[in-house]
Amino acid sequence: MTPTPRPGSGPGVHRRPVPLPIDLATPEPIPEDGIRAAVALMESGALFRYSENAPTDSPVAAWESEFAAWAERTYAVAVNSCGAALYLALHCQGVEPGQDVLLNSWTLAPVPGAVAHVGARPVFVETTADLTIDLDHLRDLAAAHPGCVLLLSHMRGHIADMTQVVEICHQHGLRLVEDCAHSLGGGWDGQATGTFGAVGCFSTQTYKHLNSGEGGILTTDDEEIAARAILASGSYRLHAQHSSRPDLSRFDPFLGGEPNHSMRLSAMAAAVLRPQLPRLPDRVRRWRALYDRLSAGLEGVPSLRLPRRDEREAFVGSSLQFFLPGLEAETINRFCEVADELGVHVKWFGAPRPSGFTSSYRSWSYASGPVLPQTDALLAGLCDLRIPLALDEPACGHIVEIIRYALEHAARNPAPLAKTDEERTA
Ligand SMILES: *Cc1c(COP(=O)(O)O)cnc(C)c1O
């Protein structure tokens, strides 16, 4: 079917592409061996990781040992989400209600959520034009908050200059926790993310790099953090059933004093995760190829800017961010609508109200703080695209074509924004 020419279309204007036939939110299927392990586990009924009589052969214990080895850390503690891991990372380092925790301003809601969970106060650090933490602002805030925790999100897989981050932390006695929800398999200058600070936190939620529906895991070399995290995750005095753990004597000082927060990982989740880990390097390679293909295509689209990526940054291209600098909000709004109609769901961080996995530090009213002009300017034009492994090269070309068309169309037909709640009640 030939599309009818639309008013306003003319020479030099691209034709409306056909919709993308692939849903960008398509997850990777669970590998066959994971399905078999899950079925066997269901037949046994033993979906809980602990039992009074069981030795250390729960799939969760095995998963922790395998993950710790993979992540090059001494201990791993599996929990039911990355948000829970972030909470435990703060709690087990003694972060107390009312204390300040530094975090990057461009992050996802569960990160300030974990800070609020321990009753601490999020203090946001500015974000650079290339979507990493602003090191100058970090230096200033670190000097003003010596000895606090820096909860650093490698948000959407953007990895800051970790050599400098670590240096700043040392200088001001900051304790570093890395949120690696989108950087599992990535690193900086040859060193894996999650190994730069005291604790690394990872997510195995469906849209991250390993998929158990829900799940998280904390890694550390610190015996006290590991012991406390195991107890606090809810081990019912069955902590001996962990195979990735410090010596049992290290638990003694915390028995009884450490509350049980019931954040355990289900054995089902561990069963489907274990066979995915050896496949991760292949997934990382495929994501990177798709990212490179898409970004090469988008380079040629006028009015769009891609963040610059440092050659020391080994990122996993499971999503792609781009900026539409200089475009009015109404134009970006229409762009998102048209792209959506054509099957390319673009998340816009500058929308008046956050929706589906976008957020702005301004929308977390419990975390009141100063206005961050640099972050505001960035978020206004920041767009985000999932890269499912179900894509292939032609699909990447198709997405570029849809984005190019949607931008051209929106420039001619901007769409008014829905009113925010404040504007409606004003
Ligand atoms: C997804 C995500 C989290 C939280 O992971 P959950 O497992 O859903 O709790 C934290 N930080 C970032 C940057 C994320 O993308």
What is the DSSP annotation of 73-127? -SEEEEES-HHHHHHHHHHTTT--TT-EEEEESS--THHHHHHHHTT-EEEEEPB
123, amino acid identity = V
36 pLDDT more than 80 = yes
Q: How far is the CA of 203 from the centre of ligand 1 (A)?
A: 6
351 pLDDT more than 90 = no
- In the chain, pLDDT over 70 holds for what percent of residues? 93
Report which protein residue has its CA nearest ligand 1's atom 1: 181
Q: How far is the CA of 357 from the centre of ligand 1 (A)?
A: 10
Query: Which strands make up the sheet holding 187-188, listed edge to edge?
Result: 191-192, 187-188, 313-314
Q: Which pLDDT does position 426 carry in this prediction?
A: 46
Q: Which pLDDT does position 13 carry in this prediction?
A: 61
Q: Is 155 in the pocket of ligand 1 (CB under 6 A)?
A: yes
pLDDT band of residue 360 (cuts 50, 70, 90) is confident
Average pLDDT, the chain: 93
83 pLDDT more than 80 = yes
Q: Is 123 in the pocket of ligand 1 (CB under 6 A)?
A: no
Q: In sequence order, which residues have a C-beta less than 8 Å from that of residue 151 and are 6 or more positions away?
A: 86, 89, 90, 101, 102, 103, 111, 114, 115, 177, 179
pLDDT tens digits, residue range 60-80?
A: 999 999 999 999 999 999 999
Residue 153 CA: nearest ligand 1 atom is 13
Q: How far is the CA of 270 from the centre of ligand 1 (A)?
A: 18
CA distances from 195 to 21, 74, 169 (A): 39, 10, 14
Q: How far is the CA of 202 from the centre of ligand 1 (A)?
A: 8
Q: Taking the model in full, what pTM does it have?
A: 0.94
Q: Which pLDDT does position 415 carry in this prediction?
A: 80
Q: Summarize the confidence of residues 157-170 as an average pLDDT.
A: 98
Residue 154 CA: nearest ligand 1 atom is 13
Q: Is 179 in the pocket of ligand 1 (CB under 6 A)?
A: yes
8 pLDDT more than 70 = no
420 pLDDT more than 60 = no
Q: Which pLDDT does position 3 carry in this prediction?
A: 47
208, 210, 315, best to mutate for ligand 1 pocket (most atoms within 8 Å of CB): 208
Q: Is 205 in the pocket of ligand 1 (CB under 6 A)?
A: yes
Q: How far is the CA of 2 from the centre of ligand 1 (A)?
A: 43
Report which protein residue has its CA nearest ligand 1's atom 5: 82
396 pLDDT more than 70 = yes
Q: Is 90 in the pocket of ligand 1 (CB under 6 A)?
A: no
Q: Which pLDDT does position 362 carry in this prediction?
A: 87
Q: Summarize the confidence of residues 166-184 as an average pLDDT.
A: 98
6 pLDDT more than 50 = no
